[in-house]
């Protein structure tokens, strides 16, 4: 093989959480056959953040790119399927809707079905929007199947993600990465040596005396951002004015009853509560804003709101929403919590890790570290973070709630221009501005806006090509198709068992619950 003297020869990843092992696995896999060494440093004493159980459908393409078999992965991580998120009490107390990974029916004459639903609503004849979506119908009935490949079938109109044990996913990827040549160092980084000529990170010193040098460093050290912040002083854009929740308390409970193929997010007085069902336990947590509730009251609110006995003591977490001013600075690329954090309402963190890794592999540098490449990476990741911020914020501001100080805070907020424009375009004619980047596509925005009672004044005028009768018949036919297909879909737990993905340690699944 011809050697390129400018090529990166060594990559060092600092951190062995989800971000570190995802980065290590992807780099080792994609760079195999090249003369590049990948090392990873982690400290068991420091540990990982240990939460992060709900994902987005894109994780499937991450696993597929590494040729990871779905059954093996699900068994190893106690995973369940996720069809979307159920939002309770967000628009008004008592409201509920599901944001599905999929669409409401199929377009008619190229126009999305929700536009016809808006017309039905004006006619006073619209049923619950949820009843027109196959992924929602099966989620509500605790059913699951893989999407059909024939686009004519209603069973093809959705995607899916997983709910899994993040610690086990990191351990699973560690086996994968080490199997692909990644060298792991156990130890705490106590010193970071900078190159005096260019300010690049040259080497990391561990508490056992070892010194690890590398050409490129990937900072996956979590909230502390050991390299990107503590060594390179990159700076952090604090987004607390838009996303003020800054604490969480997490607690696992026993798995009880039917296995729901969706995550639940219930809005509370000063934040919200998550419920994520895995095979062996259910993850629960209360994300809250410390200006509006004390830690003691937040813990009590969570513990009083559980549907099964706890399996461990509650765990407290602190964070500041926002992003690093530069995700890539000199020869350091920050990925995961070291890059920023936008609170877990739509399970976006692991996805942003994936984006960071994908973009890095696309713009993989040589030893020159061209500033134009660095700027492009930072631009793309910056837009990704902003799009997620806007989508999360939408949940808090598309609401009629004003019953507590927190909800009143959101009512009086000045929105980022990007979100304000999007909401105004929606309200005037049900039109959604489509972004160049951003993980959430129009159906996701539709789900949240309509789910939280943000009803446009007008629907797409092209819908009027159909008569009232035709629109009525189209709606009824779709509802019947969805309902018939849902009834024929297998039970979620039974499906996991049948495909051989049930963990051997799970009595509930073994019993067929
Ligand atoms: C409350 C909450 C809920 C969340 N829920 C979700 C969710 O549902 N879905 C989702 O996608 N994401 C979620 N996340 C985010 C998710 O947990 C993280 O994105 C993910 O775990 C990645 O974390 P990380 O690997 O960046 O950092 P960490 O897990 O903190 O790992 C940091 C690593 O760096 C190492 N390290 C640090 N300092 C040193 C040192 N000096 N020397 C050696 N090693 C060091 C540590 O040992 C550790 O291995 C949630 C986050 C929070 C706070």
**Confidence band (pLDDT; 50, 70, 90) for 513?**
very low
Whether 193 has a pLDDT exceeding 80, the answer reads yes
**In angstroms, rounded to a whole number, what is the distance separating the alpha carbons of residues 217 and 339?**
13
Please identify every residue annotated as catalytic: 82
Distance (Å, rounded) from C-alpha 454 to C-alpha 400? 9
| Cβ–ligand 1 contact at 220 (below 6 Å) | yes
| Domain membership flag for residue 98 | no
pLDDT of residue 383: 94
Q: What is the rounded CA–CA span in Å between residue 331 and residue 215? A: 7
Q: Tell which one of 41, 166, 186 to mutate to probe ligand 1, the residue whose CB is within 8 A of the most ligand atoms.
A: 166
- Evaluate whether residue 445 is within a structural domain: no
Ligand 1: centre distance to CA 20 (Å): 9
Instruction: Quote the CA–CA distance of 355 and 349 in Å, as a whole number.
Output: 10
- Report if residue 359 sits inside a domain: yes
* DSSP label of 338: G
Which atom from ligand 1 is nearest to the alpha carbon of 339? 26
Q: How far apart are CA 216 and CA 224, in angstroms?
A: 19
Domain annotation covers residue 501: no
Task: List Cβ neighbours of 50 (8 Å cut-off, separation of 6 or more).
Answer: 166, 167, 315
230's CB contacts (< 8 A; 6+ apart) are: 192, 224
- 273 within ligand 1 shell (Cβ under 6 A): no
Ligand 1 pocket member 41 (CB < 6 A): yes
Give the Å distance between the CA of 18 and the centre of ligand 1. 6
Q: Whose CA is nearest to atom 6 of ligand 1?
A: 52
314-355 pLDDT, tens per residue?
999 999 999 999 999 999 999 999 999 999 999 999 999 999
Å from CA of 105 to ligand 1 middle: 37
Angle between helices 349-362 and 18-30 (to 10 degrees): 30
**Per-residue pLDDT reduced to its tens digit, 355-405:** 999 999 999 999 999 999 999 999 999 999 999 999 999 999 999 999 999
Which pLDDT value is given to residue 3?
A: 78
Write the pLDDT tens digit of every residue in 438-495. 788 889 999 999 999 999 999 999 999 999 999 999 999 999 999 999 999 999 999 9
Least confident of 282-286, 316-320, 420-424: 420-424
pLDDT category at 506 given cuts 50, 70, 90 is low
CATH number for position 372: 3.50.50.60
The answer to whether residue 512 scores a pLDDT higher than 60 is no
Closest of 463, 450, 483, 501 to residue 74, by C-alpha: 501
| Alpha-carbon gap, residue 461 to 110, rounded angstroms | 13
Work out which ligand 1 atom sits closest to the CA atom of 221. Answer: 34
Q: Is residue 80 in a domain?
A: no
- Tell me, in angstroms, the distance from the centre of ligand 1 to residue 171's CA: 13
In-domain check, residue 442: no
Q: Note the pLDDT tens digit of each residue in 123-174.
A: 999 989 999 999 999 999 999 999 999 999 999 999 999 999 999 999 999 9
Rg (CA), the chain: 24
Domain range for residue 18? Answer: 10-53+165-236+324-386
DSSP symbol at 181: T
Do the domain assignments include residue 284?
A: no
Tally of structural domains, the chain: 1
Q: 48: CA distance to ligand 1 center in Å? A: 5
pLDDT (tens digit, 9 = 90+) per residue, 255-264?
A: 887 799 999 9
pLDDT at site 436: 66
Give long-range contacts, CB 8 A cutoff, 24+ apart: 95-98. 95/451, 95/452, 95/453, 97/129, 97/130, 97/447, 97/450, 97/451, 97/452, 98/130, 98/133, 98/135, 98/136, 98/139, 98/140, 98/262, 98/447, 98/451
HEC sequence for 15-72: CCCHHHHHHHHHHHHHCCCCCCEEEEEECCCCCCCCCCCECCCCHHHHHHHCCCCHHH
Report pLDDT digits (tens) over 105-124: 889 999 999 999 999 999 99
In a domain, 207, yes or no: yes
- 62 C-beta closer than 6 A to ligand 1: no
Query: What would the pLDDT profile of 211-247 be if each residue is shown by its tens digit?
Result: 999 999 999 999 999 999 999 999 999 999 999 999 9
Percentage of the chain with pLDDT > 90?
91
């Amino acid at each position: 093989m011809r050697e390129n003297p400018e090529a990166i020869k060594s990559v060092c990843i600092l951190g062995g959480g989800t971000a570190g092992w995802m980065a290590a696995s992807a780099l080792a896999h994609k760079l195999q056959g090249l003369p590049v060494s990948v090392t990873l440093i982690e400290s068991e004493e420091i540990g990982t953040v240990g939460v992060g159980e709900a994902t987005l459908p894109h994780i499937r393409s991450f696993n597929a790119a590494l040729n990871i078999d779905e059954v093996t992965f699900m068994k190893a991580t106690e995973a369940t399927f996720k069809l979307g998120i159920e939002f309770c009490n967000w628009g008004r107390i008592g409201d509920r809707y599901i944001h599905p990974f999929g669409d409401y029916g199929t377009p008619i004459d190229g126009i999305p079905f929700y536009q016809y639903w808006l017309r039905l609503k004006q006619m006073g004849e619209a049923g619950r929007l949820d009843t027109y979506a196959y992924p929602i119908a099966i989620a509500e009935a605790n059913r699951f199947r893989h999407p059909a490949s024939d686009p004519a079938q209603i069973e093809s109109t959705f995607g899916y993600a997983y709910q899994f044990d993040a610690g086990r996913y990191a351990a699973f990827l560690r086996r994968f990465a080490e199997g692909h040549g990644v060298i792991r160092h156990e130890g705490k980084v106590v010193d970071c040596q900078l190159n005096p000529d260019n300010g690049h990170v040259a080497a990391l010193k561990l508490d056992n005396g070892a010194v690890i040098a590398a050409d490129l460093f990937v900072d996956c050290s979590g909230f502390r951002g050991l390299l990107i912040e503590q060594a390179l002083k990159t700076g952090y854009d604090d987004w607390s004015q838009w996303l003020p929740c800054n604490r969480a308390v997490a607690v696992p409970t026993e798995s009880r009853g039917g296995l729901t193929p969706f995550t639940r997010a219930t809005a509370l007085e000063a934040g919200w509560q998550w419920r994520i069902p895995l095979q062996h336990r259910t993850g629960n947590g209360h994300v809250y804003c410390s200006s509006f509730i004390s830690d003691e009251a937040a813990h009590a609110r969570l513990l009083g709101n559980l549907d099964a006995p706890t399996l461990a003591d509650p765990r407290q977490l602190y964070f500041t929403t926002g992003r690093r001013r530069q995700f890539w600075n000199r020869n350091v690329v920050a990925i995961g919590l070291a890059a920023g954090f936008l609170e877990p309402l739509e399970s976006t963190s692991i996805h942003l890790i994936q984006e960071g890794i994908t973009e890095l592999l696309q713009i993989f540098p040589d030893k020159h570290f061209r500033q134009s490449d660095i700027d492009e990476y930072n631009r793309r990741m910056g837009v990704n973070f902003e799009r997620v911020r806007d989508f999360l914020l939408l949940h808090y501001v598309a609401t009629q709630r004003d019953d507590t100080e927190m909800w009143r805070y959101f009512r009086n907020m000045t929105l980022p221009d990007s979100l304000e424009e999007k909401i105004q375009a929606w309200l005037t004619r049900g039109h959604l501005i489509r972004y160049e980047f951003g993980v959430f596509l129009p159906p996701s925005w539709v789900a949240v806006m309509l789910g939280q009672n943000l009803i446009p004044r007008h629907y797409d005028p092209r819908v009027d090509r159909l008569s009232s009768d035709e629109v009525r018949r189209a709606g009824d036919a779709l509802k019947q198709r969805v309902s018939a297909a849902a009834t024929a879909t297998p039970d979620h737990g039974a499906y996991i068992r049948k495909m051989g993905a049930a963990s051997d340690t799970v009595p509930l699944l073994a019993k067929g619950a």
